[in-house]
Amino acid sequence: MREDLFRLTACEAVQRLKSGELSPLDLIDAAEARIAEVEPSINALPTLCLDRARADADRLMRGIGGEAQRKAGWLAGLPIAIKDLMDVAGVRTTYGSPIFANHVPERSHPLVERIEHMGGIVLAKSNTPEFGAGGSTFNEVFGKTRNPWNTSLTPAGSTGGGAAALATGEVWLAHGSDHGGSLRRPATYCSVVGLRPSPGRVTRGTVDTLFSPLSVQGPMARSVPDVALFLDTMAGYCHLDPMTFDAPRLSFSHAAAAPQRPHRVAFAATIGGSPVDQETENICRDSMRIFRNIGSTVEEITIDLEDLEDTFLALRSQEFVIDRELQLQRYRDQIKPDIVWNTELGLKQSISTLAKAERARAALYMQFNDLFSQYDLIVTPGANTPAFDVDLRYPEAIDGIKLEHYMAASTLTAAVTISASPALSLPCGFDQYGRPIGLQLIGRPRGEAALLAAGALFEAESGLAEQVPIDPRHGKVPPMGKLT
């Protein structure tokens, strides 16, 4: 049985930790064995901190550091992975950049401190594109992460390492971040569950963009109840982040365990004309039968948005200027072209362009607000296209439409980022080549409880959460659609 501990859900593992049936050391040993078995095939967790993890486990087992054990989200010594964009004290943290290849921070990020205070044990750092910018997970420090469903394919980005680690059972929970879809697309590509929380739900702590709602931190897991558990661990007010607010009185785990069905569900095959792979669209539309099976009314709608791509790029590029302008001045030759392009786009754009994007953002928010006066839930495909060649930065085309840059493959998720709504990605099937296909469930701002409840009902009816963890599978790259 000890060899199969990696197959436990996070909720099951925490219950066994609380009961004393398992110790944190048991799970660390199980994770270490599983990582040794599958990591050579996927390269998801390039930095391990096993000695640190065992020292933390020893402290918990001696009764030190258990002050939060009665709170919702207590992990009781569960090993987890932290994305390599976030500092963990004493652990190599590179941000996926050669500039920081040997960086070892002295102090952890406030979110890591919160997770550890809540009984989580950091086992590893998960791979990410440089500074989290990219739709495919690779960097010059650690190389490429591969999709366990087909190791010739990418797990997407930028939380690709966390998604691949979950899908193979290396860890039970993975932390991630999301700007244009970095929690949601990797979850879709790896057939796991990722949640982009509402801005302010989870602390960002130390970033320079503290007053922007675009980039958030959040949880990823193999099932909706596990994501709810990890959100309980993360959520709450942080004095270092002015956008944060208190966690709700009723836990998110409670919402997932006793869910209420959404009465009215809107399915949108795309948002703002964003191109979507045709087979992906068909699979997602067909999966709406699951909501109908649980008693929800489903209507297909069209969400028309003007200048979606330009709006998101203007807002995103402004943040790149804040984050990367000074680094470009000093380290330009060490920073990958996608980041240089995105930063220079922001430096070149006019104040009028940025003002237009802000007006468009306000209009988009009000449009989604109007939709939520009619529907409890909005559902779209989880990604514009299925997993693509691991050697590509982004797919050449989607549904015959040529893509000009890496963000063009993320406009479905980027639109929801602008809306400030929470969004949950969860599996809904597989395409003809065996690639995972997922949905993006969108809830009202700060409506994570209802969103997780809807996701839990869909997941229970579909049974797809039971398909992971898997052993890495090798295969060929499916043919790409022809340009029209």
**DSSP for 221-233?**
ESSHHHHHHHHHH
Task: Report d(CA 255, CA 239) in Å as an integer.
Answer: 27
Q: What is the DSSP letter of 323?
A: H
Give the pair of three-digit tokens for residue 67: 């002050």
Residue 203 neighbours by CB under 8 Å, 6+ apart: 110, 111, 114, 217, 234, 236, 238, 240, 241, 244
Closest CA to 209 of 287, 321, 371: 321
Mean pLDDT by 10 residues, the chain (484 residues): 85 98 97 98 98 98 96 98 98 98 98 98 98 97 98 98 98 98 98 98 96 98 98 98 97 95 98 96 98 98 94 97 96 96 97 97 97 98 97 92 89 96 98 98 98 98 97 95 52
CB-based contact 171:82 (threshold 8 Å): no
Which amino acid does the sequence have at 54? Answer: R
pTM score:
0.97
What three-state secondary structure class fits 159?
coil
Adjacent-strand bridge partners of 379: 267, 441
Domains detected in the chain: 2-467 (3.90.1300.10)
The whole-angstrom separation of Cα 360 and Cα 156 is 28
- What pLDDT is attached to residue 481? 62
Q: Using alpha carbons, list the distances in angstroms from residue 261 to 290, 391, 463.
A: 11, 41, 17
Beta strands 377-381 and 264-267, pairing class: parallel
Do 467 and 427 form a contact (C-beta atoms < 8 A)?
yes
pLDDT on residue 222: 98
pLDDT of residue 484: 41
